[in-house]
Amino acid sequence: MRRITFTLAALLGLGACGSVPSFGPEPAPARPAVSHDAMVASMAGNYTWNCTLQNPEGTAQWRFVLQQQKRRRVPETFQVEAGRDWDEQVRVTNDGAALVYEMKDKGKVLVASDGEVIGTGPSRSRAAQYPTGWCTRGSA
Residues 6+ apart with CB under 8 A from 62: 52, 53, 54, 55, 126, 129, 130, 133
Q: From start to end of the chain, where are the E strands?
A: 49-54, 61-70, 75-80, 88-89, 91-94, 98-102, 108-112, 116-120, 132-137
**Looking at the domain assignment, is residue 16 inside a domain?**
no
What is the reported pLDDT for 73?
80
**Looking at the domain assignment, is residue 95 inside a domain?**
yes
**Looking at the domain assignment, is residue 77 inside a domain?**
yes
What is the reported pLDDT for 24?
47
**What count of other Cβ atoms lies within 10 Å of the Cβ of residue 68?**
15
Domain of 82? 36-137
Domain count, the chain: 1
**Looking at the domain assignment, is residue 4 inside a domain?**
no
How many angstroms separate the Cα of 105 from the Cα of each of 36, 59, 87, 123, 129?
Answer: 21, 22, 14, 10, 12
Q: Worst-scoring range by mean pLDDT, 26-30, 101-105, 108-112, 124-128?
A: 26-30
**Looking at the domain assignment, is residue 5 inside a domain?**
no
**Looking at the domain assignment, is residue 6 inside a domain?**
no
Instruction: Please name the residue ranges forming H helices in the chain.
Output: 2-17, 36-43, 126-129
* 23-66 per-position pLDDT tens digit: 445 544 455 567 999 999 999 989 999 999 999 998 899 999 99
What is the reported pLDDT for 71?
80
> Per-residue confidence at 130, pLDDT binned at 50, 70, 90?
very high
Contact 121, 111 (CB under 8 A): no
* 4-25 per-position pLDDT tens digit: 555 545 555 545 554 444 444 5
Q: How far apart are CA 85 and CA 72, in angstroms?
A: 20
**Looking at the domain assignment, is residue 106 inside a domain?**
yes
Is pLDDT of 70 > 90? no
74-103 mean pLDDT: 91
> Per-residue confidence at 138, pLDDT binned at 50, 70, 90?
very high
110-117 mean pLDDT: 95
Q: What's the chain's average pLDDT?
A: 82
Amino acid symbol at 55: N
**Looking at the domain assignment, is residue 21 inside a domain?**
no
